Amino acid sequence: MTRLSVNINKIATLRNSRGGNNPNLVSAALACERFGAQGITVHPRPDERHIRYQDVFDLKAEIQTELNIEGNCQEQKFIDLVLANKPAQVTLVPDVEGQLTSNHGWDTIKNKTYLQDMCKLFKDAGIRVSIFVDPVEEMVEAAAETGTDRIELYTEGFASEYGFDKELAIKPYFKAAVKAREVGLGLNAGHDLDLNNLQYFNQHIPELLEVSIGHALISDALYLGLEETVKRYLACLK
């Protein structure tokens, strides 16, 4: 079964909108675990507009499942945060300052040497590394040369095209997954996966290890409740 890691950034956004600590981020993460999620994902950004750096320390001390910290490893503060907390996994994302949300993967050919250094740094600390990539076979193949353990396929393209032609939408992701298997990389995926498209994606992508889902899942929880929502996402992954 593909593992579900719940991205709790949006819960932090709601908390921050009023100050204080309601909703409580740690309590929400523990509830996700209790309802069956196999991981918690956070993506801190320099302006701390959702996840605060202190949140990562608080979560690491309490959660029992895997902690996945996503972010821009070109920021020294992010590197220091990851090394201080030693999560199960760090996902390297090529964000730029002020970026609203992640919108592209690494050019693993152009940035190979840099990514090699980053992968070594985190792996030497005992942290599993995943690199955010677009569904392009050449980028997947080059990712294997960085020393990363996994890649995370950026799935906005699939989600955008799913309603028009799902077979065409899944095609580059299937090819990228096959290439990942050929070059010995573990496979994660995330971005705009939801209750409408997740089951199809999971059924057609070989050896998918983990999906990280935040915005859609937290939005669905407003209507369905968090427990029911987590259970429905898990059902899509069976």
What tens digit of pLDDT does each residue of 2-21 get? 999 999 999 999 999 998 99
Catalytic residue among 33, 43, 152, 210: 43
Which residue is catalytic, options 33, 70, 152, 210? 70
Mean pLDDT across the chain: 95
Contact between 66 and 39 (Cβ < 8 Å):
yes
List, for residues 174-213, the tens digit of each pLDDT value: 999 999 999 999 999 999 999 999 999 999 999 999 999 9
pLDDT band for position 83 (cuts 50, 70, 90): very high
Active site annotation includes 70: yes
For residues 151 and 106, the answer to whether their CB atoms sit within 8 Å is: no
Which of the residues 33, 50, 152, 191 is marked catalytic? 191
Can the peptide bond before residue 23 be classed as cis, meaning omega within 30 degrees of 0?
yes
State how far the alpha carbon of 192 is from the alpha carbons of 149, 197, 227, in Å: 23, 9, 20
